Amino acid sequence: MAGQGRSAGRRAIRRAAGLILSAALLVSGCTADEGSDTSVRDIQQTLDGRAAAVLGHDESAYLAALAPEAVQLRTAERREFRNLADVPLRSWEYRLGTVRRHGTRAVAEAELRYRIEGYDTAPVTASRTLELAERDGRWYVTAERAGKGGGQQLWQQGDVRVVRGERSLILAVGQNGERLKALVATADRAVPAVSDAWTSPWARRVVVLVPASLDAMGRLLGAPAAGYRGIAAVTTGETGAAGTSPADRVIVNPDAYGVLGDFGRSVVLTHETTHVATRAYTSASTPMWLSEGFADWVAYRGRGRTAGQTAPELQRAVRSGEVPAALPSDADFAFGADADRLARAYEGGWLACELIAARWGEEKLTAFYRAVGAGKHRAGAVEKALADVLGTTPQDFTVRWREYLRERLAG
């Protein structure tokens, strides 16, 4: 790429944020407005039968849970059931939350939980709101939609194509075969690159979702698509210990990812795969400059790029005498912020992690990451890890970081 195209391409890479989106988990336990009756149990029985039908590839049994008169719902659900056919599911279940019953009608909040065979050690979770009707002692689903703040599932957007790699699984809608073959090859290379830099335990596998368009990506995330324009990929999943939090998914924006070259695509998927690998050691105590900077450090590690090629926006600032006074704040990473400011935030985080690796060593960098994430509160977590792991203070580290920016970017 050249000229404006090259600049836009770099920016798309820099803005490939590893967004960690928390799934909305429902409160356990069930209630019914009309006192203690059997409706909750019977509704759960209907949903259990539906789940068994998904795992058993039994379309008739799946549709049997739907009200016979709900013609449009049955048509949509039949299409979704078939769209899901090739996805290698290990488990599928519904957990009921609040059930509000009014006579022979009810509205239930539920959590769909499913796992991909060979990839998920924990389930993906999705909140669902179901409307039901009782007839002859049995409950039937009459409507279903995403719960509050939830998004669509990929199979609701079209026939899901499955491409298997050695270390990755691609689930895609509306993408051609050649593009998916290239994507799975890039994802397969990203996994060992991450494992080489991050030696702590992780699944060493990644699931990548590719919707048909930017708008479809927004529907998966349950958020306005405009907020992800120019962002090549995001990672969903909750921070916390592996096995106790919902599984991660890397979601690719086909529009922004498609304009990148091979190098940019590799950087994007390695960055996002790093977020998958480090999730169990990332917490509310981890500042964005560390989580995003570390993901970029892994993504650019061993690539042979100069600091100026990797951090062009920050280099321009440093050369004009505008050396940042402090490490990037979380607010500097906000989507929808000024693009140059966002780029400088990512670049500043990357150079902070590169400084630690260069001055204290790569093992100290990963130990520092884990130590910060182990903090019980944001306040004091970085300060304690700086002292315990690196033997320094926030003030001293900031001075070293500003000097490092001049050293790497001013020339």
3-state class (DSSP) for residue 208: strand
Instruction: Determine the pLDDT at residue 239.
Output: 60
Overall residue count recorded for the chain in this entry: 411
Nearest Cα neighbor of 323 from 287, 286, 360, 351 is: 351
Residue 190 and residue 269 in one domain:
yes
Kindly state whether residues 177 and 273 are assigned to the same domain: yes
Do 144 and 218 lie in a common domain? Answer: no
Report if residue 305 sits inside a domain.
yes
149, 24 contact by CB (below 8 A): yes
pLDDT of res. 380: 94
Q: Are residues 109 and 157 in the same domain?
A: no
Give the C-alpha separation, 36 to 19, whole Å.
42
Helix (H) or strand (E) holding 183: helix 177-197
**Residue 1 belongs to a domain:** no
316 and 239 within one domain: no
- What per-residue confidence (pLDDT) applies to 205? 95
Burial class (CB in 10 A: 0-12, 13-18, 19+), 108: buried
| CA–CA gap between residue 333 and residue 229 (Å, rounded) | 15
- Angstrom distance (rounded) from CA 33 to CA 29: 14
Question: β-pairing, 206-210 with 249-252?
Answer: parallel
In a domain, 3, yes or no: no
Q: Is the dihedral of CA 201, 203, 205, 208 positive or negative?
A: negative
What backbone phi and psi angles, to 5 degrees, belong to 120?
-100, 120
Of 148, 165, 199, the residue at which a domain comes to its end is 148
Same domain, 205 and 85: no
Q: How does DSSP classify residue 134?
A: E
Over the stretch 327-383, which tens digit does the pLDDT of each residue have?
A: 999 999 987 668 899 999 999 999 999 999 999 999 999 999 999 999 989 999 999
Q: How is residue 168 written in tokens?
A: 């990755």
- Other CB atoms closer than 10 Å to residue 75's CB: what's the count? 10
User: Which residues of the chain fall below pLDDT 50?
Assistant: 1-36
370 and 291 in a single domain? The answer is yes
Same domain for 175 and 277, yes or no, is yes
Domain ranges, residue 361? 283-411
Instruction: Provide, for the chain, the percentages of residues in helix, strand and coil under a 3-state DSSP scheme, each rounded to the nearest 5.
Output: 50, 20, 35
- The residue out of 282, 311, 344 marking a domain boundary is 282
The whole-angstrom separation of Cα 410 and Cα 343 is 17
The contacts of residue 71 (CB under 8 Å, 6+ apart) are none
* pLDDT the model gives residue 9: 40
- Please indicate, yes or no, whether residues 46 and 124 belong to a single structural domain of this protein: yes
Last residue of a domain, one of 132, 148, 164: 148
